[in-house]
Structure 1
Amino acid sequence: MTVLGTGTMGAGVAASLLREGHEVTVWNRSVDKATPLHEHGATVAEDPGAAVAEAEVVLLTLFDTDAVVDVLEAAAGEAPTDAVWVQASTIGVAGTETVVQLAGKYGITLVEAMMLGTKAPAEQGKLTMLAAGPADVLDRIDPVLDAIGAKTVRAGDQVGDGTALKLAANAWVASITAATGQSLAIARSLGLDPDLFLQAIAGSAGDSAYAHVKGRAMIAEEFPAQFALDGLRKDIGLITDAARTSGVSTVLLDALGRVYADASAAGHGSDDIAAVGTAF
């Protein structure tokens, strides 16, 4: 089992795989982000080609399309021909189409397993996996998905269906996080303890566990990154592109883009997405 990319999500996923007894090889462009996994039993490879040389499954957990393309082209010819490559990076519709074309060029067996969740669920093996691809190939990687996720939703039999579902889900994450920040700011500006908002929605039809998690961070003004704000900004751009291309109104997405951009410009780009509350 090989994990290419050991940033926030990749490192957590690799740790979960190791905990579940998988033999794991890892690689990251910045080796200092991969080295700590050696202490947990992972083999740290010097380059992508070496990392995939004996892999049965290759998991791509990288930041954007350019990174996925670079790594795939560097490693494609080095992996066993029967290896399954699992694209788990959020790269949008166009990026996914590019990777599918490259997989065809190199004769790679490719499926998707988008990761819905943040740092803690990745480390705990409690992500929701949004899988797509031929059913028989997905069956082969079920033990991997079970090790890193609490459940797997099969979005379809075409690579790209998982990406579509991930974009829809992240639109929800971006919306509810920003909406929580807005409501807390309104309560505070009108002279109330903002925690009263969380008390008011608790247990109601409009309640959300996510609103409480992010709301508590906003009230405490503590933003250790579980999902970096600039990472979600990147995703909002991908979601907006997909919506515009498919004829969905981008009015709300455009507003979200501006709000997250304001928080990033104020110095919160590497903080958790809860820092979007500062924009209000």
Structure 2
Amino acid sequence: MLETLEPISVLGVGNMGAALASAFLENGHPVTVWNRTIEKAQPLISKGAQMSKSPAHCVQSGTIILISLASDEIVRDLLSEIPSLLGRTVINFTTSRPQWEIGTANLVTNQLQASGYLHGWTNSIPLEVKNHQARVLYSGPKSLFEQQKHIFQVLGKALWLSDDHKKICMLENAALSMVAGLCAGFFQSLALAGAAGHNTIDFTQEVILPLLPLLQDILLEMAKRDQHQSYLMSDDSVSESSVSVGTMLGLVSDARETAETSGVSARLFEGFHDVLRQAAESGDSLKDASAVIQMLRRDKSQC
């Protein structure tokens, strides 16, 4: 007798939602999808997914409900169209702000009466999700995670992080902060290289990409100093990966001035430059640059 796999409902089939749906389809689960733009669901329909006419109709078809939408606000608007989630487990893969996520969890479990709610953070690209190679972290009741873990493993490696939705949202946004900062630096870099008349593809391949492996030691060194709050650069603590606040300020100031005198905006640097300058003026010039991290944790009025 063939095993009947849990029916899955997916609300939102953008890049990540489509990858989630594809992974479960390929594993043999019945999948029903809903999306405001029907055309985006066509590739999934061709693979065997059922297209639903409304969010309320979609959730009736599944016992596991996956939400993957663009924002917290859209999630709330969509949930307002659903009268009940009784007996269903909901996993929200939408990138969320902590307070919104807590409110969504309460709405789903208390008002809509779902049997359980988890937040999922796919620390992977959609292709890895689709190919069952993702690394997905979950928050919510650990007992619920363990109960449904066999389903989550369809996506790849499933890890329970915490029962605290606020924590996972903060970590998810912390990771996005790194990506945003990397993009800001990359954009500034290419703007200046292009202004110099250099081919930006060549510059990326020959200069930027070889730098990335070198950053690993520097980032780990800074993380260790921050974790242990060891910011003083004594002779026995200085490594090849160490850089002081003063040195970092000098480097950023040079890059900022070079941009401005070359007709390139330096506004992406302004906030970082100001924090480094404040740290130096506060007497931290000789401390490791990671001392700035602690400044950012203080009252924002002091930064």
Provide Cα deviations, 1:81-120, integer angstroms capped at 9, x if missing partner: 3211111111212321221231222222211112223343
The alignment-based identity, stated in percent, is 24
Q: Which residue does the alignment assign to 2:151?
A: 144
Asked if 1:127 is matched to 2:134, the reply is: yes
Aligned counterpart for 2:210 among listed residues 197, 200, 211? 200
Which has the higher Rg, Structure 1 or Structure 2? 2
1:102–1:38 Cα change, 3 Å: same
Classify the secondary structure of the residue corresponding to 2:154. Answer: helix
Question: For 1:207 and 1:10, how far apart are their aligned partners in 2?
Answer: 35
Question: For 1:7 and 1:250, how far apart are their aligned partners in 2?
Answer: 38
Question: For 1:199 and 1:100, how far apart are their aligned partners in 2?
Answer: 41
Q: What is the letter of the counterpart of residue 8 of structure 1? A: N
Classify the secondary structure of the residue corresponding to 1:90. Answer: coil
Asked if 1:159 is matched to 2:176, the reply is: no
| TM-score between both structures, scaled by the size of structure 1 | 0.66
Aligned counterpart for 1:175 among listed residues 181, 184, 189? 181
For structure 1, the residue ranges without an aligned partner over 5 or more in a row are: 209-245, 253-280
Classify the secondary structure of the residue corresponding to 1:67. Answer: helix
Q: How many positions carry a matched residue from both structures?
A: 213
Contact 1:57 1:141 in 2 (8 A): no
Classify the secondary structure of the residue corresponding to 1:204. Answer: helix
Question: For 2:188 and 2:133, how far apart are their aligned partners in 1?
Answer: 29
Question: For 2:173 and 2:209, how far apart are their aligned partners in 1?
Answer: 30
Asked if 1:96 is matched to 2:96, the reply is: no
Question: How does 1:26-41 map onto structure 2 within 5 Å?
Answer: 26-41=33-48
Question: For 1:37 and 1:248, how far apart are their aligned partners in 2?
Answer: 48
1:146–1:198 Cα change, 3 Å: same
1:152–1:206 Cα change, 3 Å: same
Q: Which has the higher contact order (CA 8 A, sep 6+)?
A: 1
Question: For 2:37 and 2:183, how far apart are their aligned partners in 1?
Answer: 30
Contact 2:98 2:165 in 1 (8 A): no
Q: Which residue does the alignment assign to 1:277?
A: none
Provide Cα deviations, 1:130-161, integer angstroms capped at 9, x if missing partner: 2101111111332332222x333422112333
For structure 2, the residue ranges without an aligned partner over 5 or more in a row are: 1-7, 219-296
Question: For 1:151 and 1:248, how far apart are their aligned partners in 2?
Answer: 37
